Amino acid sequence: MSDTITPGLVSLDVPLGADKSDVIRSLAARVVAQGRATDAQALFDDAWAREEKDETGLPGGIAIPHAKSAAVTTPSLAFARLSPGVDFGAPDGAADLVFLIAAPADAAEAHLAVLSKLARSLMQADFTEGLRAATTDEDVVAIVQTAIGERDVAAPAPAAETPAPIAASAQPAPAAGLAVDGRPARIVAVTACATGIAHTFMAADALTAAGNKAGIDLVVEPQGSSGYQALPADVIQGADAVIFATDVDVREPQRFAGKPVVRSGVKRGIEQPDQLIAEAVAAANNPNATRVGGEAAVATATAGEKLSWGARIQRILLTGVSYMIPFVAGGGLLIALGFLFFGDDYSAPDNATTVIVTNSLWDLPEGGLGIYLGSVAFAIGAASMGFLVSALAGYISFAIADRPGIAPGFVAGAIAVTMNAGFIGGIVGGLLAGVTAWWIGTWRVPRWLRGLMPVAIIPLLASIVASGLMVLFLGRPIATLMVWLTDWLNELAGTSGIVVVGIVLGLMMCFDLGGPVNKVAYAFAVAGLATASPENTTPYLIMAAVMAAGMVPPLAMALASTVLARDLFPPVERENGKAAWLLGAAFISEGAIPFAAADPLRVIPASLVGGAVTGALSMAFAVQSLAPHGGIFVFFAINPVWGFLVAIAAGTVVSALAVIALKKWVGRKELEQAEAALPVAA
């Protein structure tokens, strides 16, 4: 690997312009002049685009404009020491130390790791002091190369291929106000910026240093461009709160589901780490604090662990389902709202598209305002639901091949719909598209072609392969399977067999409280809504049973911990129980996770019993739900409402009594020992 910085890339005390655009342009020109990039304007444009998203000035007179650019051929650091300094947007004034970090668009992980080391070094006072004291270009190069590991020192530390989580070393006692239940707070954090090179690691180091200073247990997961090492599941499980200091989406956020969370941009992690930690501790001590939503926490292996193929496929499918749900939730609720406006006019859905095209608020259709508003809501909802299979396939492919897999996945999902292969076809198409896109991405191609691979070559070829296989070989057999499954369920409707389906769905919804089994049942139900109609009501029956059963665990834990047996639950669970009332009512099964995490062998069996009762009763009462989410708040989309409420109430009471009985008579000795320790800990 060539030197990342050379004397020709250093400018000491030379005026480079009056503002930051001049400085960035001058440094980009130096990179090109040294033969490390092909186009100064293109490099400037990419760095300036990053600068416009978020200024790169940092406290302490530092600025780190940076970019990944197709114009860069060799990863490079261009450095300028300015006198006077130039404003890069830092809160404490102008910057006199400026690094332009230039990475190729397809930079290798090793190069990105080197550039990330520079960002971490900028958080160290001796490094910046050395740069300010340097007298020659060679001195600067020596200081930087030593910091990033390109020049040997007495005891070099091996560079990790994947950034590992950074843990704060424990101190004897936490700072005032930074305790949870009388002990030092346990916080986990994720840092990530748009390019994943600089701010990601600077924020990680700043939070780590602040955690050490505060005397708390803090572990950071930097999600950089060179990859990331996921925090161990037990560390996340034991955390009191989460800090997301990110400018981009957190990868695998479902791991943190249910945890109190503080969110901010990545720069605040650099500039205000103490305040972020204080806010996180306050959230941990506040039962009503904002929590990470989404799926139930899934045990995620660290980078060093070998995942089985089954575990990998599970994580891939969960990613697809998690991205699909917003399309379904919004679309389904709009369709339900449309039916509310339609009233008893069962022909209105068939004419909704015609109504919104030919009519308006000042030219109402026959039936008046209600039919028009219902048609608008129904048409928008149907359009959203139309993305269901494509979104599922697209984001399954994304989970395998990252962004290059999205387009071929969506296309394969659309082909699955065309072939009437349903959501099973979407899953198969998404897997095919993702694997194909990932494989094509491993090809060794000429440098001039690399920039086209993710935006043109991979989507084109992966779409041809995945969608071609669906059309030629797989679509029709899967469509036949879907027809058989639909006919079988329709035959069960109106018979005692449908009650068995309700029991199975209820058990699945309560088995892992938002985990993979729960999501399989939920995905099956919401996918069926796309084929439902007044003539084919079986999908509505399934949706109602799934939603009702999913509400039972949090409602049951709330009933048991706040009303029926408060003395069996520690104070923190009684507080969680108050929040679980609302979570359960809104069909957020994750509201029971804190209880299941603390006592899985008693909470989960109790939940299963109640879920089975609710699923069976929902089917027995022929309850239908036109909405895929919302719980009791979408009562207008549920019929009959009384059957829905009775089924939920019965399952809730059964689960609550079951968990109370298990806590009283199963393992009571261990429970008493744990409770006896609580006053000591407090």
CB atoms near residue 105 (< 10 Å): 15
Q: What's phi and psi for 315, nearest 5 deg?
A: -65, -40
**Residue ranges of E strands in 2-150:** 10-12, 57-58, 62-63, 66-69, 76-86, 95-104
Q: Which two tokens stand for residue 480?
A: 């036949």
Beta bridge partners, 363, equal 360
- Residue 91 amino acid letter: P
Query: Does 193 qualify as catalytic in the annotation?
Result: yes
The rounded distance, in Å, linking the Cα atoms of 434 and 441 is 10
Chain centroid offset of residue 246 CA: 12
- Residue 275 amino acid letter: Q
Q: Whose structure tokens read 């399309």?
A: 327
- Given 193, 199, 510, 629, the catalytic residue: 193
Contact by Cβ (8 Å): 416, 389? yes
Contact by Cβ (8 Å): 397, 430? yes
Contact by Cβ (8 Å): 548, 535? no
CB atoms near residue 533 (< 10 Å): 11
Interstrand relation of 638-639 and 624-625 (parallel, antiparallel or unpaired): antiparallel
- Name residues whose C-beta falls within 8 Å of residue 347's C-beta, 6 or more positions apart in sequence: none
Q: Which two tokens stand for residue 210?
A: 């602040």
Identify whether 640 is preceded by a cis peptide bond (ω within 30 of 0). Answer: yes
Contact by Cβ (8 Å): 589, 521? no
The rounded distance, in Å, linking the Cα atoms of 288 and 266 is 25
The rounded distance, in Å, linking the Cα atoms of 269 and 582 is 32
Secondary structure element (H or E) that encloses residue 262, with its range: strand 261-264
The rounded distance, in Å, linking the Cα atoms of 74 and 5 is 10
The rounded distance, in Å, linking the Cα atoms of 478 and 633 is 36
- Name residues whose C-beta falls within 8 Å of residue 639's C-beta, 6 or more positions apart in sequence: 623, 624
The rounded distance, in Å, linking the Cα atoms of 366 and 345 is 11
Through-space distance between the first and last CA atoms of the chain, rounded to whole angstroms:
55
The rounded distance, in Å, linking the Cα atoms of 11 and 34 is 13
The rounded distance, in Å, linking the Cα atoms of 593 and 512 is 9
Q: Which two tokens stand for residue 321?
A: 């389902």
Interstrand relation of 179-180 and 95-104 (parallel, antiparallel or unpaired): unpaired
Beta bridge partners, 184, equal 179
Contact by Cβ (8 Å): 196, 164? no
Chain centroid offset of residue 587 CA: 20
Within 13 Å and on the Cβ side, how many CA atoms surround 171?
Answer: 19
What SS3 state is found at 57? strand
Q: Which two tokens stand for residue 483?
A: 């027809």
Q: Which two tokens stand for residue 498?
A: 């449908």
- By annotation, the residues acting in catalysis are 66, 193
